[in-house]
């Protein structure tokens, strides 16, 4: 009359088995799972590893956000510097043209100063052997006497 079905018995897993299943399923039609001690230990290890990964991911995300903020600050500074450089470019061109003009003017003034010094030297007489200090005499009289004697020594007339 009534047949009874026999459920298959599964021996409990031991910790020495290397390929023990994580969970064993109940017979068909049953909604519950049977946890073995080995499976619980493995699940706990997996959960601990996931928690570690989660904290590492959070740390990396915060570091990434810090880097992003730093990059944003640097980008803003670069934009400000570029704007300042763009504003200074026309001024530097004006200054460069002024410097060139002043350089030409300095060259011209150096030439004129050198020419004036040369012309001033041409009007001067250089007398070698005339003492610089003439004691108690009028310089003009001393020079006339000195020239007469110097010229007479050379064999020229004093006139």
Three-class secondary structure of residue 139 per DSSP: helix
> Beta-carbon neighbour count of residue 34 at 10 Å?
12
**Ranges under pLDDT 70 in the chain:** 1-35, 131, 134-137, 153-159
CA-wise closest residue to 9 among 46, 41, 45, 34:
34
**CA dihedral for 38, 44, 46, 48, sign (positive or negative):** negative
Q: Name the one residue in this structure whose structure tokens are 């969970």.
A: 23
**pLDDT at position 38, please?**
84
Q: What is the dihedral of CA 125, 130, 131, 136, to 10 degrees?
A: -90
Per domain, the residue ranges of the chain are: 32-124
**CA dihedral for 118, 119, 124, 127, sign (positive or negative):** positive
**pLDDT at position 37, please?**
82
What is the pTM (predicted TM-score) of this model? 0.37
**pLDDT at position 62, please?**
94
**pLDDT at position 69, please?**
95
């Amino acid at each position: 009359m009534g047949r009874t079905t026999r459920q298959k018995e599964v021996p409990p897993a031991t910790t020495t088995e290397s390929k023990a299943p994580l969970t064993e399923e109940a017979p068909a039609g049953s909604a519950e799972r049977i946890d073995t001690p080995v499976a619980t230990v493995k699940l706990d290890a997996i959960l601990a590893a996931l928690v570690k990964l989660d904290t590492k991911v959070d740390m990396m995300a915060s570091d990434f956000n810090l880097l992003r903020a730093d990059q944003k600050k640097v980008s803003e500074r670069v934009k400000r510097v570029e704007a300042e450089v763009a504003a200074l470019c026309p001024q530097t061109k004006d200054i460069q043209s002024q410097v060139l003009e002043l350089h030409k003017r300095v060259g011209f003034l150096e030439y004129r100063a050198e020419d004036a010094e040369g012309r001033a030297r041409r009007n001067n007489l250089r007398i070698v052997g005339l003492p610089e200090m003439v004691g108690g005499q009028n310089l003009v009289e001393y020079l006339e006497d000195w020239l007469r004697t110097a010229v007479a020594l050379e064999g020229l007339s004093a006139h």
